[in-house]
Amino acid sequence: MSSSSMRSFPSQTEPETREETETSQEIYRRCATSVISLPKSDGLSHLQLYRHHQGWHGSQMCIAGAMAADACFTARPSDIVVATLPKSGTTWIKSLLFSTVHRREHPADAADVHPFSSFGPHECIKFLEYQVYTGKEILPDDVDELPDPRLFATHVPWVALPAAAVASGCKVVYMCRDPKDTMVSLWHFVNKLRVKEWLEPLSVEIAADLFCDGLSAFGPYWDHVLGYWRAHLARPGQVLFFRYEELWKDPPAHVRRLAAFIGLPFDVDEEENGVVDAIVKLCSFEHMGGLEVTKSGRTEFVVGAVENSSFFRRGGVGDWANYLSPESARRIDAITKSKFEGTGLSL
């Protein structure tokens, strides 16, 4: 299948024929109505999941947001989009990107007055489908007014990125994480939301089965990772590919990689003055997790307000071993092996 045919899908035909007078809110509402005719099922979520024509899953609101973003987003080549699956280190890579891009006006060693002391990373870099194209009269009309470089985020697969973003050549920074750690992190997060909604928490084994069956938001996990991996291979100058584990092992090396990729490499003075280490420290789990805005703040998403603290649980590598049965771990490993075989990708 050619990449262009992979990127087209029936439900986007309508938004693409957008009437000139139609607002992004009207488009969103039209998309939201069309989503309810998609196949639906319960999944590793607190919300009903729908299966998009492209084979990925999402709540009604996030699929509608992705479709509205595809129809309305006017990309600039200078834009930078962070792409991740939920629980792959989104909060961390957003922090690193924001503080790297804005290091001149907001030095990382002045942590007390840095925007992160007042705003969580999800407010500093907003999700296109959860915070920008939400059908609400908030940000969308202002997006065109933002100065360069504009920073956005998304959880959608490569095939569902707004067509304008891909065509513009804007930079895409992808981060993935070991599937078992991603799954366990997602399970903790989802259960918190389920309890708030008076739903039964899922056992870790049921959650693992749903994850393996691709029934998690933006899943199947493997298709998502492979989509961006192949995009990275095909367009290395447009798509940067990170693994959480590599970043965890040597954060300064990967912050330098990030800065070089976005065209803002650290100069000699910055290197001598410890700017890279200051960014790493500012964005560390310990520092970000301890901020007052993390402990008591909330961020608004189309699906509701979420406590900032819920984006910081434990951090690190290998926590899955404390929760997953050997059978579930083996099942996930077997899928990973068979899906990634011959792709050049290993996690």
Residues that bind ligand PPS (CB under 6 A): 84, 86-92, 181, 185, 188, 283-285, 288, 311-315, 319
Nearest to 223 by CA among 236, 211, 238: 211
CB of 46 to ligand PPS, least distance (A): 13
> Measured from the CB of residue 313, what is the shortest distance to ligand PPS in angstroms?
3
* Closest CB to ligand PPS among residues 27, 259: 259
Residue 61 DSSP label: H
Q: Of the two residues 273 and 284, which places its CB atom closer to ligand PPS in the complex?
A: 284
Quick one: 221 or 311, whose CB is closer to ligand PPS? Answer: 311
Task: Extract long-range pairs of 317-321: CB within 8 Å, 24+ residues apart.
Answer: 317/178, 317/181, 317/244, 317/245, 317/248, 318/178, 318/181, 319/181, 319/184, 319/185, 320/178, 320/180, 320/181, 320/183, 320/184
Nearer to ligand PPS, 29 or 102 (CB): 102
- Look up residue 178 and give its two tokens: 């070991």
Q: How far is the CB of 255 from ligand PPS (least distance, A)?
A: 12
We find the least distance from the C-beta atom of residue 184 to ligand PPS, in angstroms, to be: 7
Measured distance CA(1)–CA(162) in Å, rounded: 19
Q: CB neighbours (10 Å) of residue 287?
A: 15
Q: Which is nearer to ligand PPS, 71 or 81 (CB)?
A: 81
* Positions marked catalytic: 155
In angstroms, the CA 36 to CA 234 distance is 34
Q: Which two tokens stand for residue 60?
A: 């009604």
Nearest CA among 99, 328, 45 for reference residue 208:
328
CA nearest neighbour of 92 among 284, 287, 250: 284
Per-residue tokens: 179: 């599937």
Nearer to ligand PPS, 84 or 99 (CB): 84
At its nearest, how many Å lie between ligand PPS and the CB of residue 144? 25
Residue with tokens 């360069």: 148
